[in-house]
Amino acid sequence: MRRLEIKTVYSEYTSEKELPEEDQALLQKAKKALKQSYSPYSHFKVGAAALLENGKTVISANYENASYPSTVCAEHSALIQAANRYPKSPVVALAITVLNSEQVIEDPAMPCGSCRQVICETEGRNGQDMRVILQGEKGKVHVFERGGDMLPLAFDGGFL
């Protein structure tokens, strides 16, 4: 038997002000997307902004459903919209932020497992990595240089 270890590397900034200007601007667009959130059940708003290689930005927010499995996540929606609207322009960065009317979230919220899978699939489809920028309502920011770093041992088309 061999014992294997997986390490995840990401950068942590104490605030968005430490980010490069391009990342700050993308995070601000994700925060603006929060206004579009439809989250009457959880009151957990998620905003996402995808920056494409062509310089365009696609934003989206979560859209809840009383049947929770039918809820559409912000990051999932932003990536699918980007692929449909600009199929020849890969996503180079994705910013995700959250807001909860019942509590202040100061830690970056990680995407759910399904969204991590969509991020990995998008990287595979585009043949390149995308930087993922995460922040709560305020406070520190986590930046992953590859979305795949959030989902080690991902399931991909190689298994099919």
Dihedral sign, CA of 33, 149, 6, 156?
Answer: positive
CA-to-CA distance for 116 and 8, rounded, in angstroms? Answer: 14
Those residues with Cβ within 8 angstroms of residue 9's Cβ, 6 or more apart along the chain or in another chain: 145, 149
d(CA 45, CA 99): 5
Is 102 among the catalytic positions? no
User: Which residue among the candidates 5, 21, 53, 75 is catalytic per the annotation?
Assistant: 75
Q: Is 159 helix (H, G, I), strand (E, B) or coil?
A: helix
Residues designated as active site: 75
